[in-house]
Structure formats: C-alpha cells, structure tokens
Amino acid sequence: MKKKINSQLILGLGISFALIACNQNDKKEEQAKATDTTVNATTETVQPVAQENAMDAVKVAPGLYKLVSDTLGIRILEINYKPGDSSAMHSHPDNVLYVIQGGTGEFTGKDGTKNASELKTGMMAVRSAEAHSVKNTGKTTLKAILVEVSRPNETISQDAAMGATKIAPDLYKSKNDTLGIRVLEATYKPGQSSAMHSHPDLVLYVINGGTAEFTGKDGTKNVSELKSGMMAVRPAEAHSVKNTGKTTIKVLLVEVNRPMK
C-alpha cells in the first residue's frame, strides 16, 4: 500500500515538475520573442537596411563621406572631394544633393558610362537610387551635403492647408517636389514671421544663420541660434517662426513625405 502511495506521489511530482518546466520554457520563448522584436525595431529605426549595404558610401570611402546624422530612416552625409580625389564604386538610396562649394566631377556608372558634371555652388537635385564612382576632375575642392532617404517610396497624406508654402508663400519657396521628397528654401528677413504651419519629418540645413523664435501649437516659445552650416534631422512638427535677430536667415528644408518602414 505504501509503495503504491509512494509511486503515485512520485508520479504526481514528476508531472508537476514537467508542467513547471514547460511553463518556464514557454515564458523564456515569449521573452526571447519580445527581445527579438525590440532588437529588430531598434535596428530598423537606427540603422535602416539600405545603410548596412557593403556598397554604402561611408564604408567604401570614409575619407570622402562623413556621416552627420542617421535617424528616422534619413541620413545626412557631408561630402568633401579635394582635386584629384576619387572614390570606388558605391551606392545611395533616393537622395537630395546640395552643393556647398562647386567644381567639376566625373561620375562613372556600374556599366562603365562616364558623365562629367559641372556642380555649381547652391545647386540642388533630387535623385533616385544609384550606384557610381566619383572623381574630382577640377581644381577646386567639392563640398556638398547628401540627404539619403531609406523609406518606402509611398506618399503620406498631409494637410496641404497647413503646408509652409501655403501659409507663408513669401517666406517658403518650393525648389523641387518629387519621389515623395520636397525641397524648400526659407528666407526670413529681420522681424519677419510666419503664421502657424506644419512640416513632415525633415532635414534642416542653415545656409545663412541668425536668431529665430519658434512657437509651438501649445504656445510654448523657444529661441534658437541657427548657425551657418548647421544641419539636423527634425521630426514632424507644427509651429510659427519669427526672425528675432539682425541678419537674414536662409535655410534649406528637405521634407520627407514618406512613411517609416
């Protein structure tokens, strides 16, 4: 009788332990899945897949392409080619090029086709994804910024009535609008201000600096010193702006009207 009870007790304990082990394994698997999801989400946000390519310009030619910012599926690269400098074959996703200091460059495509271009100071272009090598064939140092967009080529619906060019057409000029990317040039003379307007995620590049006061939708005011050459990726926002300084502020805005991955 005791043997029978002992056998049942051992069997019961064995089943209990097995159930506990299964529950623990299930919890571990759930935790692992949650961890995997978190890691993947972080990777997609901070390091877009397109930027991990072995053909990435920053990896192929780190002396010529400097990474300034990488967030929200948008990268800012600073480009600097001295006379005679050249890069090996590399690639870019859809992008916007803004020439800070012009010169002459030779672009060679994957098929070997060569194209000589005169890159003038202040020139701006929205370009689709491409692969090429580049050589500075001129006598001046070529300097530019490149905004790379690693987001699906789908347009997000925006409130056009709140767009900067709609609210303040005298201050914001559209320079290019294609591939779900819009480039604006904003010019605020001392004392000029705009009514409340909105922007999607964007890149800000300060061409000519000064002091500006930004007022948010909640009325919060923020005074910022915009220094010439400053660049940053900014999330979508709505605000009004006033030039509170003594110099004319001129900025380039690259609005990314595309969804995140």
pLDDT of residue 52: 53
Residues 201 and 234 in one domain: yes
pLDDT of residue 102: 98
**Amino acid in the structure at residue 215:** T
Tokens representing 93 are 């996703």
In a domain, 261, yes or no: no
In a domain, 88, yes or no: yes
Residues 167 and 125 in one domain: no
Residues 167 and 132 in one domain: no
CB atoms within 10 A of CB 163: 20
In a domain, 31, yes or no: yes
In a domain, 177, yes or no: yes
Residues 169 and 83 in one domain: no
The residue from 149, 177, 200 where one domain ends is 149
Confidence (pTM)? 0.79
Residues 114 and 168 in one domain: no
Residues 81 and 40 in one domain: no
CB atoms within 10 A of CB 42: 10
Residues 35 and 89 in one domain: no
**What phi and psi, each to the nearest 5 degrees, are found at residue 218?**
-90, 5
In a domain, 155, yes or no: no
**What phi and psi, each to the nearest 5 degrees, are found at residue 259?**
-80, 160
Pairing of strands 74-81, 65-71: antiparallel
Residues 164 and 233 in one domain: yes
pLDDT of residue 53: 81
Helix, strand, coil shares, percent, the chain, to 5:
25, 45, 30
In a domain, 188, yes or no: yes
Q: What is the CATH number of the domain that holds 185?
A: 2.60.120.10
pLDDT of residue 3: 42
**DSSP single-letter state for residue 141:** -
Residues 6+ apart with CB under 8 A from 166: 160, 197
The residue from 103, 122, 149 where one domain ends is 149
Strand ranges, E, within the chain: 65-71, 74-81, 90-92, 95-101, 103-109, 114-119, 124-127, 130-136, 142-149, 172-178, 181-188, 197-199, 202-208, 210-216, 221-226, 231-234, 237-243, 249-256
Q: Which domain holds residue 30?
A: 1-46
Tokens representing 152 are 């699906």
pLDDT of residue 31: 42
Q: Mean pLDDT, consecutive 10-residue segments, the chain of 261 residues?
A: 41 40 43 35 36 85 98 98 98 98 97 96 97 98 98 90 97 97 98 98 98 98 98 97 98 96 83
In a domain, 178, yes or no: yes
Residues 84 and 38 in one domain: no
Number of domains in the chain: 3
Residues 202 and 239 in one domain: yes
In a domain, 139, yes or no: yes
pLDDT of residue 261: 83
Residues 181 and 138 in one domain: no
pLDDT of residue 16: 43
